[in-house]
Amino acid sequence: MTFSELNLSLFSWINASPEANNTIIHFAIFMANDLLYCMILLFAWFWLRGNYDTKKQILKAFIFTSIAILISQCISQVYYHPRPFVMEVGRTLIYHAPNGSFPSDHMLIFSTIAFSYLFSVQRKLGIFLLGMAWLVAWSRVYLGVHFPLDMLGAFLLAFALNFFGLKLWNLYKDLDSQMKCNRD
């Protein structure tokens, strides 16, 4: 089985059937479209109410996510993979522009933030956020705007960025600590 065949097979298994339950469809729409805004509001609240360490972790997640989106845009310029509805595959339940689908920006954002927390002292929050990321991934495929391999690609990109970016982040953190000691 080729990657394309696997991708189409998984898509047809996950994508909403014509008999899909309306409650599940509405839940999927919330996860696909609105959860991102809820998360942004939550982070803004934590930024305003949090201590230095909380703000530093949010800043790390923001920087890593910004880099991830930049990389994603570069990938989209070099590699175009059509969305399911462009290929006239499956059932599409939300509107999306017919731009490239690989990698999924929604999954990339959620996964990058999740790994940012997973690779910190707040591992439990990172695990929770990874669960949310996979719910977002399921919802975007279920609603017909992405393929499963779009999600896997975003997940792997987020992991790699955090894995290698953490080394730079810690190096900077160590340099910052040394500079503070030298000033005192």
Whether the pLDDT of residue 1 is over 90: the answer is no
Cα 20 off chain centre by: 25
- Distances, alpha carbon 22 to alpha carbons 84, 90, 120, 136, 151, in Å: 21, 17, 38, 17, 24
Whether the pLDDT of residue 178 is over 90: the answer is no
How many helices (H) and strands (E) the chain has is answered by 7, 0
Rounded to whole angstroms, the Cα distance separating 5 from 11 reads 10
Q: Which fold has domain 55-183?
A: Vanadium-containing Chloroperoxidase; domain 1 (1.20.144)
Would you list the domain boundaries of the chain? 55-183
pLDDT digits (tens, 9 = 90+) for 138-174: 999 999 999 999 999 999 999 999 999 988 888 776 5
Q: What is the DSSP letter of 30?
A: I
What pLDDT, on a 0 to 100 scale, did the predictor assign at position 183? 54
Whether the pLDDT of residue 180 is over 70: the answer is no
What pLDDT, on a 0 to 100 scale, did the predictor assign at position 13? 94
Structure token pair of residue 165: 């970016």
Cα 139 off chain centre by: 12
Structure token pair of residue 53: 């360490």
Whether the pLDDT of residue 182 is over 80: the answer is no
**DSSP H or E stretch at residue 39:** helix 35-49
What does pTM read for this prediction?
Answer: 0.88
pLDDT digits (tens, 9 = 90+) for 90-143: 999 998 988 989 999 999 999 999 999 999 999 999 999 999 999 999 999 999
Rounded to whole angstroms, the Cα distance separating 84 from 181 reads 55
Whether the pLDDT of residue 176 is over 60: the answer is no
pLDDT classification of 3: cutoffs 50, 70, 90: confident
What pLDDT, on a 0 to 100 scale, did the predictor assign at position 169? 84
Query: 3-class DSSP state for residue 29?
Result: helix
| Share of residues in the chain with pLDDT > 90 (%) | 78
